[in-house]
Amino acid sequence: MIDNHTKQKQTLRMQRHAMAFATYLVPMSLVMLCWSQGLLPEKVIYHFAAFVFVINFTILFLIQKNINLKFRDPSLTALHITVSCLPALYVMYFLEHGHARAIFMLVLLLAVLYGILELDTRGFLMACLWILSLYVLLIMVLWAKKPEVLDPSLEWIQIITFALVLFSMSVIGGYISSLREKLRSRNQELRSAIEKIDKLVNIDSLTGVSNRRRLFEVLTQETNRCSRGETPFSICLLDIDHFKQVNDAYGHLAGDEILCTIAGSISQDIRNIDAFGRYGGEEFLLILAQTPLCGAVVKAEKVRSQVAGLRFTEISKEIVVTVSIGAAQYRPAEDIDTTLLRADQALYAAKENGRNRVETEKNQTAVA
């Protein structure tokens, strides 16, 4: 299995090579034009088309089946450049006029331009050296088999010019590629910075759980979901019992440690669809998605027992910290502040009834 990031890159590679496949319409048109002018035999058209289809469909198949991920260059850009010049060179072999061959040299340059999408300067130089070597080999084959079609002075000028142009394209293309890589790196840094900022904005700096701002974002999402007729949700408002006395007896640093320990313990024991965060001071809010009131009471009782079982031996072996919890279920179409108020009233009732307990508002019923 491949991750989503790799899937996205594979999709982009498919799009790039599909675009490259479309550019073969240019040389195909030139081949047809040369045939129409009597410069090429008809068989060259079919051979050229066959070469193009085999090359492109092979590369697209490798990407589609994720075989390209096993290669050092998964984009297959260098491979595409090195093989895409072969059909053009094949056509050039049958062109007896030097000027006609010069036209297809432009097609070779078009293949090199494709490297801007991925290759660095070294990759460009290697690809250009390969294409230049194949072109020189073609001229040598022509010299051996059909020397009458060559004009030595013209061929030398074309080879030197071709070499200089390829070298220039390598330098320019490599520079553009480096700029693209720098832009990609900057974009990655920007995304990382945005993620950090987003985390700072939504995370309570002391406890490391969601802050009040993030909690209200989740509440808005849940109320919208509930308004569409989906399953209900409930909230639990938690308050640490006698927290001021703990601060007075053991100091604010001890109080901070207790807050962090409780927050860490509860946050590790909630579902992915739930949300938990610091509501303010020593109060925490637990948002239970797809949960009616009866289920919220069960979860709240588990949290209450979980906190009561925590020990803070580094502060004091005798200290026992408990929480009081008020639970409420959101009612469709009501303002979320009303739901919070009902949870706060239930929390107040828990305090009044002896603390270290779970309460719901008296006029609430545990809806199944």
Measured CA to CA in angstroms, residue 103 lies from 92, 111, 188 at distances of 9, 14, 42
Residue 148: active-site member: no
Strands 323-329 and 358-360: parallel
Paired tokens of 232: 């209900």
CA atoms within 13 A on the CB side of 82: 14
- CA dihedral 280→275→8→66, nearest 10 degrees, is 140
Paired tokens of 142: 């022509």
Contacts for 180 with CB less than 8 Å, ≥ 6 apart: 116
Catalytic residue selected from 222, 282, 359, 361: 282
For the chain, the straight-line distance linking the first and the last C-alpha, in angstroms and rounded, comes to 40
Q: Which residue has the tokens 């092979």?
A: 58
Contacts for 184 with CB less than 8 Å, ≥ 6 apart: none
CA distance 15 to 117: 12
CA distance 85 to 108: 6
Burial class (CB within 10 angstroms; exposed 0-12, middle 13-18, buried 19+) of 182: exposed
Q: Shortest CA distance to 230 belongs to which of 239, 221, 238?
A: 221
The amino acid at 305: S
Q: Shortest CA distance to 51 belongs to which of 101, 96, 85, 79?
A: 85
CA distance 92 to 150: 12
CA distance 296 to 27: 69
- Residues labelled as active-site residues: 282
